[in-house]
Structure 1
Amino acid sequence: MSVFNASRLLGKTVLITGASAGIGAATAVLFAKGGSNLILLARRVDALKSVAEAAAAAHKASGVQQGGQIVTLQVDVSDKAQVASIWDNVPKELRDVDVLVNNAGFVHGLERVGSIADADIEGMFATNVLGLISITQLLVKEFKRRQTGHIINLGSVAGREAYPGGSIYCATKFAVNAFTTAMMKELVDTPIRVTEIQPGMVETEFSVVRFRGDKTAADKVYEGFQPLTAEDIAEEIVWAASRPPHVNIAESFILPVNQASPSLVYRGSK
């Protein structure tokens, strides 16, 4: 059985931030397979090109006749000027976005309060919170004008329960949860849908970035159990987007079967 109703994705235009790797990349490929057009944003233009090629191949292999247009933009969502200029580089026929996937975000370090570098604090908030808000504000105006649209924000288990060594990252994800919940209530008198996807431990570049490129340290995070994959979360995102127009998946909380909280993980199962 398909994880989504492909007919509801045909010809839709999906804008994905942080699309150069991990969850963003997997989501792009799955939407393309379902017949959607893509606007892919990321800072790493070479990696973004590879994702676009994979998405194009998935669309071709699906045999779907609709959709398949893909635009890649080198955009840092923490830069308001870059966000404001997005439409300057998007073909006119793709400017009516149907789904916004706010996936861009990162974590740096495990330092505790008192030892956290200002650059890490500012960087995480600039991307995870302010960048998400900037691009949402840009899109929600158009969604209101057209009386349609779906905003899907990537939250985290870290936005439900804080943990030592994650004070800043957790604060950013708690902020995403508050912003998403308030926005859903503000848009209750519209057809615009608002969703938050809250993954637990997903094995992507996330931990490599957290450990500042130390792959050995990153790999230890996932030792002894089976974490989620980027494709697992992509399925949740695309499934939420493919519900009937009157159905809103307000929140989807996904954990590996051997994780029960940010710190409670059974590591004897792999």
Structure 2
Amino acid sequence: MENKTVLITGATSGIGLATARLLGSNGFNIIACGRRKERLDELKNILEKDTRILTLEFDVRNKNAVNKVFNSLPEEWKKIDVLINNAGNAHGLDTIDQASLEDWDLMIDINVKGLLYVSRAVIPGMVSRKSGHIINIGSLAGKETYAKGNVYCGTKHAVDAISSGMRKDLLEHGIKVSQVCPGLVNTEFSEVRFKGDEKKAENVYKGMEPLYAEDIAEIIEFVITRPKHVNIADSLILPLDQASSTEVKRS
């Protein structure tokens, strides 16, 4: 049986990187997308021993770049079986009256528009083949809100709604749409949110054991490998020490 081809955005760190490494080691063909060429090259060097891998350097926020990349895909890579919309981030943790407009633009452009641009480029091929699987990486922040998380929560609520809408629109074409929503995961996420302030980032996970990128990668692999008639439409994954965005047990 031909190995499935999986395209992963944000594949140079965190959940995206862990997922690329896990799926690649298990024989999936990987299209790894990201903005950092040196990290893409490192990933390629690791995975090409186990599987076929294509790396694509572009920014999901750039509509023209997205279209250019997908219009010029090599013929042998055009059949994308699984799309994992993982690229996303949080910028700042401020009340709505004090937040940076630039932070808002970054979150909306990456978390919402970037997801849409890549999906719009990939979905027509899935529709023409009457098969495919889209996995959108959401968040606990897409299920509830918390103080100072206003726009980030808004973007992840948008991912939740878009995932539901996609599922309805693509139902007749036999395309699965899933959403995977992690709680606290120890990745570069908090360092980006706090603009490189390592102390603030460390405090997010202080006194508790968070999830790790590999935990979510295993969930994603499970979602992908279900029988054809099974679609895990939505999943919320929390560490044992977390009950909600604001309820975390710390030692």
- Residue 45 of structure 1 pairs with residue 37 of structure 2: yes
Instruction: Show the 5 A alignment for 1:224-263.
Output: 224-263=207-246
What is the rounded CA distance, in whole Å, between the counterparts of 1:55 and 1:105 in structure 2? 23
Deviation at 1:238, TM superposition (A): 1.0
**Shift of the alpha carbon at 1:158?**
0.2
1:90, distance to aligned residue in structure 2 (A): 2.9
CA contact (8 A) 1:155 1:198 kept: yes
1:194-220 alpha-carbon deviations (Å, 9 max, x no partner): 000000000000000011001111011
In structure 2, what is the Cα distance between the partners aligned to 1:56 and 1:153? 25
1:88, CA displacement in angstroms?
4.7
Q: 1:252 deviation in Å? A: 1.1
Identity of paired residues, percent?
45
What stretches of structure 1 of length at least 5 have no aligned partner? 1-6, 60-67
Look up the match of 1:62. none
Corresponding position of 2:59? 76
The answer on 1:23 being equivalent to 2:23 is no
Report the TM-score, using the length of structure 1 for normalisation: 0.90
Please identify runs of 4+ aligned residues in structure 1 that moved more than 6 A.
none
Number of matched residues? Answer: 251
Q: 1:208 aligns with which of 191, 194, 207?
A: 191
Secondary structure of 2:228's aligned partner: coil
Q: Is the 8 A contact 1:76 1:82 kept in 2?
A: yes
Counterpart-to-counterpart distance in 2, 1:76 and 1:19 = 12
Q: CA offset at residue 54 of structure 1? A: 2.7
Task: Give the alignment partner of residue 11 of structure 1, picking from 3, 12, 18.
Answer: 3
RMSD of aligned C-alpha atoms? 1.2
Q: Is the 8 A contact 1:21 1:51 kept in 2?
A: no
Q: Is the 8 A contact 2:15 2:214 kept in 1?
A: yes
Could you tell which deviates more after superposition, 44-53 or 197-206?
44-53
State how far apart, in whole Å, the 1-side matches of 2:200 and 2:237 are. Answer: 24
Give the stretch that moved more between structures: 42-51 or 229-238.
42-51
Aligned partner of 1:94 in structure 2 is 77
CA offset digits 1:102-161 (Å, max 9, x no partner): 000011111110111111111110000001011111111111001110000000000001
